């Protein structure tokens, strides 16, 4: 029997009369990488913000690790949504120290996550002087600081050069072996296709497709068919 670390059931978010997320039911297997795909403005970030407690859901359910989601579950969820939450006048170690103090974690955890994201040798360099790729890795380190079971990454490679993308891709691939499930949101199909186990395609707030990735299938064709079917008012 499959174990789902996260499920949503008819999850909906409305802003006034507009439904940004419309009855989405996701199933995220434990220790896997799930690619959440969709055009810009499709509802991906809104969905992730509900899962991380940044937005209240209008209706529907969120099930985390077999029980109804509550804010206590945020202790087991790490997230990097939009831009990394950095104090740019602080070093990487100092940024992480702020989090360990808030969470009551030992300083040894700082070295552990810096090792994971390959930022141990940044010394006294302030994070505001980091490259974009280094800032993204520090953002992931912050998301990992609390030993999460689920890691949510929203468009993590935006603005990165090819080397930065490859480094981040390798890092993300390593997480399931550490017992961490990853939800990776992106609109870049080639990026997702190389690393995910399952995909969900969201368009206009609705889930058009969900299933295991088939490397023999043309993901771009599947994506475009889903998007076009939505615009024509049909469903697969």
Strand, helix or coil for residue 7 = strand
Does 55 or 191 have the greater pLDDT score? Answer: 55
- Average pLDDT for the chain: 89
**Residue 2 vs residue 153, higher pLDDT:** 153
Gyration radius of the chain's alpha carbons: 18
How large is the greatest C-alpha to C-alpha distance in the chain, in angstroms?
56
Supply the pLDDT for residue 236: 46
Residue with tokens 């808030």: 102
Q: What is the pTM of this model?
A: 0.89
* pLDDT of 41 strictly over 90: no
Mean pLDDT, to the nearest integer, of 152-160?
Answer: 84
The tens digit of pLDDT for each residue in 63-105 reads: 999 999 999 999 999 999 878 889 999 999 999 999 999 989 9
For residues 76 and 167, the model is more confident at 76
Bridge partner list, 63: 7, 68
Taken in order of first residue, the domains within the chain and their CATH numbers are: 4-231 (3.40.50.300)
- 162 by DSSP, 3-state: which? helix
> Which own/partner pairs from 13-19 qualify as long-range (CB within 8 Å, at least 24 positions apart)?
13/43, 13/46, 13/47, 13/50, 13/55, 13/57, 13/58, 14/58, 19/205
Q: Rounded distance, CA 186 to CA 39, Å?
A: 8
Across residues 200-206, what is the average pLDDT? 92
Q: Residue 120: which residues within 8 A CB-CB, separation 6 or more? A: 111, 114
> Please, which residues have CB within 8 angstroms of residue 231's CB and are 6 or more apart in sequence?
204
3-state secondary structure of 91: strand
Task: Enumerate the H helices of the chain as residue ranges.
Answer: 44-51, 92-103, 108-116, 132-144, 162-174, 189-193, 219-231
Residue 38: per-residue pLDDT: 87
pLDDT of 173 over the 50 cut: yes
Specify the pLDDT at position 234. 52
- Provide the β-strand partners of residue 206: 203
Is the pLDDT assigned to residue 9 strictly greater than 90? yes
Lookup: tokens for 71: 């804010």
When pLDDT is averaged across residues 132-155 and rounded to a whole number, the result is 92
Q: What is the pLDDT of residue 78?
A: 94
Percent of the chain with pLDDT over 70: 94
């Amino acid at each position: 029997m499959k174990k789902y670390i996260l499920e949503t059931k008819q999850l909906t978010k409305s802003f006034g009369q507009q439904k940004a997320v419309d009855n989405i039911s996701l199933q995220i297997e434990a220790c896997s990488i799930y690619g959440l795909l969709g055009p810009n403005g499709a509802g991906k970030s809104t969905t992730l913000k509900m899962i991380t407690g940044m937005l209240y859901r209008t209706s529907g359910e969120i099930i985390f690790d077999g029980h109804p989601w509550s804010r206590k579950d945020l202790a087991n969820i790490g997230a990097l949504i939009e831009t990394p939450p950095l104090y740019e006048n602080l070093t990487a170690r100092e940024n992480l120290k702020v989090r360990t103090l808030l969470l009551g974690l030992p300083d040894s955890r700082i070295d552990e996550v810096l090792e994971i994201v390959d930022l141990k040798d940044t010394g006294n360099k302030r994070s505001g002087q980091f490259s974009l790729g280094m800032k993204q890795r520090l953002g992931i380190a912050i998301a990992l600081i609390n030993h999460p079971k689920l890691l949510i990454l929203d468009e993590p490679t935006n603005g990165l050069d090819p080397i930065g993308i490859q480094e981040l891709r390798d890092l993300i691939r390593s997480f399931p072996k550490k017992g961490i499930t990853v939800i990776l949101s992106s609109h870049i199909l080639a990026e997702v296709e190389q690393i995910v186990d399952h995909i969900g395609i969201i368009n206009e707030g609705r889930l058009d497709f969900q299933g295991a990735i088939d490397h023999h299938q043309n993901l771009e064709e599947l994506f475009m068919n889903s998007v076009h079917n939505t615009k024509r008012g049909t469903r697969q």
